[in-house]
Amino acid sequence: MARIFIAIFVFLFGAAGAMAQEWTLGLGTTDFGDQGQDSAAIDLEYRHTPFVQKRILSVAWGANVSLTGEGDAFIGGGIWSRWQWQSGWFIDNSIMPGFFEEGTAGNDLGSSFEIRSLLGVGYQFDNGHAISASISHKSNASLADDNPGMNVYNIRYHFRF
């Protein structure tokens, strides 16, 4: 199933890559609390050219695909924003609803519909690329009877084009 998610992601956003503001690759670990099986995680995010660009604030559409070592997969899209200071430091956040499929029965998040929220802090280099640390949370916002949620802790590298 994870391969299908990647194929859909590449198909939908691969053609738009030439217009892309940023691609982000994250490596980290999951945290299901007491309920699931934690494992390594990989995260790929596409961020389109901002439709709001103020002094320190950028806002744009984006898409995300996440896979774990246990076979869990998420694909979603939504909005992201960045607060960027001249010193190079920034704060990222995003909200991306999407589709989640657990790879291990204990990693069930209560529904296929999940919302990924993210908060990260990072540093942008002179060439426009950046590195950041982030925490994201997937939850169905109590739209299902069961809502255990999961966290992902990532170190991310941002490629700007």
Predicted local confidence at residue 4, as pLDDT = 55
> Is the confidence at residue 7, as pLDDT, over 80?
no
Higher-confidence residue of 143 and 131: namely 131
User: How far is residue 87's CA from residue 79's CA, in Å, rounded to a whole number?
Assistant: 25
What's the pLDDT at 19?
46
pTM given for the model: 0.86
Residue tagged 């691609």 (tokens) = 23
In order of start, what are the domains of the chain with their CATH numbers?
A: 2-160 (2.40.160.20)
- Which pLDDT score is estimated for 76? 98
Residues 6 or more apart in contact with residue 155 via CB below 8 angstroms: 26, 27, 28, 131, 132, 133
pLDDT digits (tens, 9 = 90+) for 115-134: 999 999 999 999 999 999 99
Q: What is the mean pLDDT of the chain?
A: 90
Classify residue 9 by its DSSP letter: H
Contact (CB, 8 A) for 150 and 138: yes
- Is residue 18 scored above 50 in pLDDT? no
Tell me how far apart the alpha carbons of residues 74 and 101 are, in angstroms, rounded to a whole number. Answer: 7
Per-residue confidence (pLDDT) for residue 64, from 0 to 100: 97
